[in-house]
Structures are given as C-alpha cells and as structure tokens.
Structure 1
Amino acid sequence: MTPSTLHTSTDDGVLTVVFDNPPVNALGATTMRELRDLLKGLEDDGPVKVIVFESANPEFFLAHVDITILDQRDVLEELAASAPEGVNVFQAVGELIRHQPQVTIVKLAGKARGGGAELVAAADMAFAAEETAGLGQIEALMGITPGGGATQYLRDRVGRNRALELVLTGDLVDARSAAAYGWINRAVPAAELDEHVRRVARGIASLADGVVAAAKRALPPTDFGSGLVVENDAWASLVGRPAARQLMEDALVAGAQTPEGERDLEGLMRGVARP
C-alpha cells in the first residue's frame, strides 16, 4: 500500500523520508503504521545506509501526537499487536528508530513537540535550523507526562536535571539551546541546513561496506527496558483522567492542531488551563 502521510526518495544510499500530514503534521496512527512498515522493510536493505527524516511543512516537523488519535482505534489495536513486549505503541516508534541498522538523521527546520520531539531524540543524529526550529515536551501542559520514550531518551541525552526541566515546564526550546543541552547534535543557519545534512548523510553513505554496521555495533543504543515500563505506567495513570481529557478537548476548541494555534501551543495550553 502506498503511504499516504510519507514521501520517500533514495539517492546514493540515502533514503529521505518526508512527513506530510496536513495541516500541521500531527503524529497520527496512520503515520505511525506507515513509518513502522517502512522501517521494518529496510531492516535488511543493504543499499540504504542512511535515513534522513524531514517535513513537507517548513513550520512543523511533527507537531505532536494527534489529540484525536483514539478515533483511530482499529489502527492503534493493530500497532499494539505488533509492538515488542514491554513497550506501548508510541514507544515502539522510537525504539524501532533507535535500533534501525541504518544511521538515522533528523533535519529539523520547524517545530517538533511531544511525540515529534521524541522521534527527534530517538534518531542517531539531529541538525536544526537556528532561526526557525524548536523542540518541546508539551505533555505536562496537557495534564499528562510523556509516553513515547522522552523520559528515558532525554535523561540519556541531557541529564536528569535538564530532563526534568524540559518535561515539567513544557517550554519550547530553540535550536541553539537544544544543541547546548545535547538534545540535538548541532544548530546551523537555516540557509545552510539542507546542505549540511546532505553532506553528513552522503559522507556516511559513501563509507566502505561494513563501517556503518561496525560503528553502530560498537556504539549500541542504551537499553531502557524497565524505564520504558515505568514511563508507560506514569503516562497511563494520567491520560484517562477527566482533567487531562478536558484540557485536550479545550485545546482543540482553542485552535490546537491548526497552524495558528500550533505556532504558540504553549501559550494556548496555558490559556485553556486557567480557571
């Protein structure tokens, strides 16, 4: 089946995956299923050495998990059935990316929040536009905690103190700050982002056979195991509460998942949370 929310192209060992789910690239169940199918199909694809993730929308990489995702219950049930033991459907996306044999790179021109920010942290590398990119774990402002790996990925990347800051403030972090924290590899001028990622990706793809596999074997992803179980339990204890459901419903009414509302989603969420 041809993906409806992803576009792909391959050039000299580099596969580019473009997220395209208007209007703001919300991470819905269909996108998660299409991404799972694509990545699993690449597990033994020798010619592809690098996967670059980018967005068709210059403002939004992946806005966050679709607030209405439960309306796709049939797809969620399918994803749950195929998820590895010990991880939920959202964590399964990040874990699949983290264990991909290819080098995975995010090219971040716009904003990535919630599940989108988790995908950024799951990738092997991420490069972001200084002037326009932003990252945020928005979940706390929605009455929940991250449930797609962020608590584990962020602690590993930025340390516990900064992870708590990012998770509990819900603030949007600019590219330079994200690079200083270690959330991403580097912030580069927006005009240079495409060329920078192209150079890195093609340089890696041109390495002699076996080099990428050997490097990834010598630098394996951290095994978060029980940490992901604890994260899921924490998320699950909150997501069904009336307060969280009300915050998300109010956010949709106020303009969440529209370009206007998503440009300052933090402000929108704080506005709907006021009594």
Structure 2
Amino acid sequence: MNPTLRTSTDDGVLTVVFDNPPVNALGATTMRELRDLLRGLENDDSVKVVVFESANPEFFLAHVDIAILDEREVLEELAAAAPEGVNVFQAVGEQIRHQPQVTIVKLAGKARGGGAELVAAADLAFAAVETAGLGQVEALMGITPGGGGTQYLRERVGRNRALELVLTGELVDARTAEAYGWVNRAVPAAELDEHVSRVARNIASLADGVVAAAKRALPPTDFGTGLVTENDAWASLVTRPAAQRLMSGAMATGAQTVVGERDLEALLRGVAHS
C-alpha cells in the first residue's frame, strides 16, 4: 500500500502532506503513519515546527473514512497501542496536542469530522478565506464527534458555539471559523503559503529552549473524563440502525468522491430524507 503522508524538512520545519486520494479520507493507515511519524519526532530537537497541509487543494482531510472497518487489523493495532482512556480517533488529536514541537495546520480546503478535529488539535491553524471550510458533520450521520471534537471545540469556541457547530453540522467558512476561534486567522488564499511559511520559519529560528519552555508554560488542557464521556456518547450511537443507514446511504450516493464531498452536508440531508 502506498504511504498516505509525504514529508520534507527545512531549517527546523517539518512539512507533512496528507496525500490519500481522492479526498484525503482519514483512514486507519493514515492514523498509523501519523502516529509513527510523531513518535519519531518526540526526542528530535532538530525539528521545532510541524506544518500539516494537503496535496489536494480542495480537501485537507475530508473526515474519518466511512469504510474504516475495512482496515480492521490496523484499527485493532491502533486500539491496542492507544493510551488508557482514549479511543483510536481521540489518540490522534491527543498525540498532536501533546507533541513537543509547535504544530500548525495550513487549511486551503475543506476539513470535516475527524479532519476538523485534527485542525482543532493543532497548536495553530491558518485558513484560506476563499476556499477553506470546517464542519463537524457527524450529527448528519446519526452520531456525535468521537475524536476529541466536543472537547476541543468547547475550549476553542465556547459551549454555545460548540453546540451550534456539533448539532447543525454546517460547514463554516474561514472568516466564521476565525471569528469563533476555531482557527487563528483567515488569510487570503494567495497569501496562505507565505503566511504559514513565515510563521513556521520565525518560530523555528527562535533560540534553543524557547519553544519547549513556551509549550511547558502553556500546556494543553487535560480533558480526562471529558474524552471518556465523548467516547461513550459516540459509541452509544454509532451501531444504531439510524447511523448505519445514514452512513451506508452516504457511501451509496457519493460520499468520499470529489463531487459528493463538495457539498457533503446536502448529500447527507438528502439521505436522511430519502
């Protein structure tokens, strides 16, 4: 199987490119590759910044692969290695949140579900005004976020807006995401590459010890029982007939194709009313 991540390093900045055609669905293989990559960086003082971007300008990470159970063996491996108290999806976000390097998302396209959770897990995120979109689409699939999204959103945007985003399932644009606090800044698409590059280079050029000290002084919140509660809520729904019908119907009508993912919310609402 071809790798779904590509990497390059330049002056202390590691760029990670998600490349899993056609829409960068977040599958178990990608999660394993990401886990292994980040583990290898934990004691690497030569890398100070990790930038996440996509090979596909339309889709950063579409969402968790609806057909992820097709990778059952990899899922079982991930589950066996996941820290106590988190599921395999939460483990991705928690690893990113606790990474010693500064993590930055360069969001040119859409990120929904698990992809949006990864955006919220990163230290910093910058989104293209004209083309970026973020959405917690899970409610339209008959479930709730199960990869840390409820906890990350509540911290970033507040409970009322988190409930709005989780329960409407709507895709929000970069300006709205900026206003809510989901991303640090909305940047014109033509300036996004240079903006993120400048931020990453400036952080990587800081004196030794500054990044580590700043991350110690601003530690990630310990969500603890919140993640357990989130997993229980998600697990109580994911095997119900309604969720299974919505997800299988989504796959049958174009989810995880480029055309279907361009307006996934409309596709899912169509399945719900069919």
* TM-score when normalising by structure 1: 0.99
Distance (whole Å) between structure 1 residues aligned to residue 183 and residue 271 of structure 2: 30
Alignment of 1:103 onto 2:74: no
1:114-263 to structure 2, matched below 5 A, reads 114-263=113-262
CA distance in 2, matches of 1:151, 1:253: 28
Q: Which amino acid counterpart does residue 30 of structure 1 have in structure 2? A: T
**Pairwise CA distance, 1:71:** 1.0
Q: Taking every aligned residue pair, what percent have the same amino acid on both sides? A: 85
Other-structure match for 2:17:
18
Counterpart AA for 2:252: V
Aligned partner of 1:29 in structure 2 is 28
Is structure 2 residue 46 aligned with structure 1 residue 63?
no
Asked whether the equivalents of residues 16 and 51 of structure 1 are also in contact (C-alpha less than 8 Å), the reply is yes
Give the whole-Å Cα distance in 1 for the aligned partners of 2:220 and 2:90.
14
The alignment's C-alpha RMSD in Å is 0.8
Within the alignment, does 1:53 sit opposite 2:61 as a pair? Answer: no
- Could you state the TM-score of these two structures normalised by the residue count of structure 2? 0.99
How many aligned positions are there?
Answer: 274
Task: Tell me if the contact between 1:3 and 1:34 (Cα under 8 Å) persists in the aligned partners.
Answer: no
Q: Distance in 2 between matches of 1:140 and 1:196?
A: 34
Determine helix, strand or coil for the equivalent of 1:52.
strand
Task: Give the unaligned 5+ runs of structure 1.
Answer: none
SS of the counterpart of 2:8? strand
Q: Which amino acid aligns with 1:56?
A: A
Task: Structure 2: give runs of 5+ residues left out of the alignment.
Answer: none
CA distance in structure 2 between the aligned counterparts of 1:82 and 1:206, rounded to whole angstroms: 34
Equivalent residues of 1:20, 1:55 under 8 A apart: yes
Deviation of residue 3 (structure 1)? 6.7
CA distance in 2, matches of 1:262, 1:126: 22
> What's 2:273 paired with?
274
Partner Cα separation in structure 2 for residue 197 and residue 138 of structure 1: 27
